[in-house]
Amino acid sequence: MAQARTRLAAALSMARDRVGTRTGLLVLPVVGFELVVFAGALGYLLRMSFYASTPDGLYQPGTWTVTNYTQLLTDSYLQGRLLFSLQLGAVVTAITLVVGFIYAYAAWRASGRFRAVLLGAVLVELLISIVIKVYAWVPLLAPNGTFNSLLVGSGLAESPVALLGNGVGVVIGLVYSMLPYVVLAVYAVLTSLDWSHVEAARDLGASRPRSVLEVVVPQAVPGLLAGGITAFSWSTVAFAAPSILGSPSERTVASEAGRFVNTTFDWPRAAALGIEAVVVVVLVIGLAVALVRRFGPADTTEGVL
């Protein structure tokens, strides 16, 4: 009997090893793709950031210097733009998470055609180019645009409110653009949640809001985290929405990098700024995940980082 058990354990172990090797092989193309497209491009960017700048071209080939980083770190204007970009990312992420959770919850609780319409709406938004989506907000937010016509017409405002060419327009455009990623991530998690847990909480006396806050929200944390990371990393380095819906005051690090690439033709400076932005965004996300691990519900960050 004991011998049979040993044989069975050995056979299972061999099977596990075989499956593990095959699974590993399946991942190889993805790893190769990531190495070329992601690591390769990032490596190129990193190398570019160490070239010396020149007023006579894009960069000086064959040079190595850390000047781009020392100048960048001591440039109060650019550090201010980085701080602004992080603040913009944080505000957009916070609003998107709240709105996205409510939307995903509504879609989860809806049924039939209503659910299809709610989910279809966010999917359709993903099919539209971000530049077109952002431009669509221009006539809506303009001083004599749709929203202001409604505000003034309904008596809620005496004169047109400034919604375009400032931070309000940028945040609206970015929240709209990021919303599908949060909604779909949260919805995917909610579909695995057992509704009977919520019912049990309510049977035990919890109000509707409390049952959502104490049962649904903790379960949705992995989705909120995944959506939040996407929203934060994209909106922090946003280019289109600040350019189209904002004023120069809403210039992000991406706007500045674009200026160095296309206007002053200082590619090493643009690359150094890009690398700094990547490092800072990764650090902030790492900190957020660590905080959720420390203070959030158990096992909610598994697979995220």
Partner 1 sequence: MLGTVGGSVAAVAGCLGGSSSSTEDSLTVSVYGGAYGNVFEETVAAAYEEETGTTVNVSKAWSNRVSKLRSASQGNGGPPYDIIGLSGFNYLTARNEDLLTPVRYENVPNAEKVWPFFREYRSDEYGVPGEGGVLGIVYKEDSPHATTWSEFMEVDAPAGMNGGYWKNPLLIAALLTDEADGVEEIYDPSMHDAMFTTLEALAQNIATWYRGGADVWSALSGGTIDYGAFYYASGLAGIDNRPDSNYQMVLPETSPGYFTNFCVTNTKKRDEAERFLDFMLRTDIQTAWNQNGYYVPANKEVAGNYAERLQGVYPETNAEMESFFVIGNAEELSPYQSDLSDRFTEITTA
Task: Supply the minimum distance, in Å, between the C-beta of residue 31 and partner 1.
Answer: 16
CA nearest neighbour of 235 among 199, 162, 182, 300: 182
270-303 as b/e: b if 16+ CB within 10 A: bbbbbbbbbebbeebbeebbeebbeebeeebbee
Q: Which stretch binds partner 1 (CB under 8 A): 113-121, 123-131, 137-145, 214-222?
A: 137-145
| Cβ neighbours for 34, distance < 8 A, ≥ 6 positions apart | none
Query: Does 161 contact partner 1 by CB under 8 A?
Result: no
Cα distance between residue 273 and residue 144, in whole Å: 38
Query: Does 136 contact partner 1 by CB under 8 A?
Result: no
Query: Does 256 contact partner 1 by CB under 8 A?
Result: yes
Query: Does 74 contact partner 1 by CB under 8 A?
Result: no
What would the two tokens of residue 106 be?
A: 């509504």
Query: Does 265 contact partner 1 by CB under 8 A?
Result: yes
CA nearest neighbour of 57 among 276, 274, 253, 268: 268
Cα distance between residue 138 and residue 163, in whole Å: 9
| Interacting residue with partner 1 among 20, 24, 32, 57 (CB under 8 A) | 57
Query: Does 295 contact partner 1 by CB under 8 A?
Result: no
Residues present in the chain in total: 305
Contact code string over 175-214 relative to partner 1, x by CB under 8 A:
----------------------------------------
Query: Does 43 contact partner 1 by CB under 8 A?
Result: yes
Q: Applying CB under 8 A, what is the total number of residues that bind partner 1?
A: 38
Smaller CB separation from partner 1, 112 or 248: 248
Query: Does 276 contact partner 1 by CB under 8 A?
Result: no
| Interacting residue with partner 1 among 129, 154, 192, 263 (CB under 8 A) | 263
Cα separation of the two ends of the chain: 44
Cα distance between residue 135 and residue 240, in whole Å: 9
| Interacting residue with partner 1 among 138, 188, 193, 206 (CB under 8 A) | 138
Q: How far is CA 205 from each of CA 88, 199, 216, 274, rounded to the nearest angstrom?
A: 40, 10, 16, 52
The binding site for partner 1 (CB under 8 A) comprises: 36-37, 40-41, 43-44, 47, 53, 55-58, 77, 81, 138-139, 142-145, 160, 164-165, 243, 247-249, 251, 256, 258-259, 261-266, 269
